[in-house]
Amino acid sequence: MGSMPHLKARAAATVVLLSATVAACGGDGSKDSKDLSAQELSWKDCPAPAASEGGGEAPSPLPGGAEWQCATMKAPLDWDKPKGDTLDIALIRAAASGKEDRRIGSLVFNFGGPGGSGVTTLPAFGEDYAKLRTRYDLVSFDPRGVGRSAGVKCEDDEQLDAYFQEDSTPDDDAERKKLVDNVKGFNGSCEENSGDVLPHVRTTDAARDMDLMRQVLGDDKLHYFGISYGTELGGVYAHLFPKKVGRAVFDAVVDPTETAEQGSLGQAEGFQLALDNFAKDCTSKAEDCPVGDTEQDVKDKIAGLLKDLDAKPLPALPPRELTQTAATNGIAQSLYSKDFWPYLTEGLDQAYDGDGRILMTLSDSMNGRNEDGTYSNIQAANISINCADDKARYTPEYVEEKLPGFREASPLFGDYLAWGMVGCTDWAVEGAADHPDVSAPDAPPIVVIGNTGDPATPYEGAKKMADALGKGVGVELTYKGQGHGAYDSKNKCVRNAVNGYLLDGTVPKEGTVCS
């Protein structure tokens, strides 16, 4: 079926194209009756990342020669049984570069997904956070169920290749039955291969892991930078441990008030907006836009391509072909960042000439497929965490009813995101709630950044998060830009506001607008 993961992170989405990687260490499920907050981490040079984390080489040293270090933290498998079985959480850090007496503590990052490997992603963007490293150890982790932290296993690489070739937007009863059967098969393999861990990958579990991490790292407060789904995780942490929140920034903010259906509909609108902006950008330049003469022409030609692919896929990366689903996936991937728009232009131009390789490569990036044909576990983890969190279970009949509204939100992505809602229908574990509780009236200020052109976490979510955190807690900042997230756009105004808060404790003025 291969539909787009819900609330996929900007950083996780870019890792394959950046070819930046790293790793940490695995788990043994041992029993440990000791107080886990007293454990000492053994920091060592990072090995090359596991295939489940995205593969590749060990991370390069930072400018100035600082080495990345990796360690493993034990956490309870079941937080309701803290003295029972444990699992291993893979960590990575780069020590603070400034003087010891200026060091604030650790700054913990979550780059989202859910399902993205923080151990892989932090080094990919390490240089972006050089200023923050002057006063913090930069720390990230593979959340439980992800990468080397008891990573969820579902289908094998060969099965995943077939799975992602399937049609995820059925046009008749036979295609609908096939879609449902594929989802059922995938979900059954997750239960068969990872049944022990599936009940314990909720966002509330990851938030408790972060509080244990805070203690093990030796910090009184958790200083935190959450991106995309990482904002939801940060909000849940603030709700559970409001007095332990230090300086925190949420960027590319998830709307915590939405159900899974509302989130998918919001993404349909968000990706359509990003596509509109891409078409406008391409046709407004002095040189000819190779994929259309007008904004509408660009969108009409893309729709025509997808319709043709539904009937007849294009040659791409043998033996795999560029299907309608893979092309939609690749287009969506390229809308996560304005930096990817040239890839989209080139990929569409190539596809119009009968060659699907670039769009297929973009789709592989979204799905976590490595160049050697192995897959990271981002899709398996994404589905496992979302299905453990979200109470709703949508039937095919319900999706059929909702299709007109999704198509109105996005002629291009509507069907694709609507049918993605059946992903949890046959899931082995009951979902926790309709939406996360992030109310944290006793927490200190949290800077909440919304990007007006964000496809994956639409701008409106920032205000909803700020309001839900509580009066005087959520401080909203607006970035008028394109792509998923704001800080990594390198916009000076955003950078100064975030750095000023994290480094000096200066809270930005409520309602600040950066453009």
Strand order in the sheet with 222-227: 44-45, 69-76, 86-94, 136-141, 105-110, 222-227, 245-251, 446-453, 474-482, 512-514
Distance CA 119, CA 59 (A): 10
Annotated catalytic residue within 168, 189, 228, 376: 228
92: β partners:
70, 140
Which amino acid type is present at position 219?
D
Q: State the DSSP code for 255.
A: -
**Count of Cβ atoms closer than 10 Å to residue 259 Cβ:** 15
Annotated catalytic residue within 384, 454, 488, 489: 454
Going by their DSSP bridges, the two strands 86-94 and 69-76 should be labelled as: antiparallel
Structure tokens at 154: 């579902």
Distance CA 71, CA 298 (A): 48
Strand spans (E) along 299-438: 314-317, 320-322
Tell me whether residue 200 is one of the annotated catalytic residues: no
Tell me whether residue 454 is one of the annotated catalytic residues: yes
Structure tokens at 480: 């008028």
3-state secondary structure of 369: strand
Among 256, 208, 210, 250, which residue's Cα sits nearest to residue 230?
250
Peptide bond into 114 cis (omega under 30): yes
Among 318, 290, 332, 323, which residue's Cα sits nearest to residue 305?
323
Query: Residue 177 contacts by C-beta under 8 Å, 6 or more apart in sequence?
Result: none
Annotated catalytic residue within 6, 200, 239, 484: 484
Question: Is 438 in contact with 238 (CB distance < 8 Å)?
Answer: yes
Which amino acid type is present at position 116?
G
Which amino acid type is present at position 385?
I
Going by their DSSP bridges, the two strands 136-141 and 86-94 should be labelled as: antiparallel
What are the distances in angstroms from CA 92 to CA 42, 45, 68, 80?
Answer: 11, 10, 7, 27
Tell me whether residue 228 is one of the annotated catalytic residues: yes
Among 88, 146, 55, which residue's Cα sits nearest to residue 384?
146
Question: Is 329 in contact with 166 (CB distance < 8 Å)?
Answer: no
Catalytic residues: 228, 454, 484
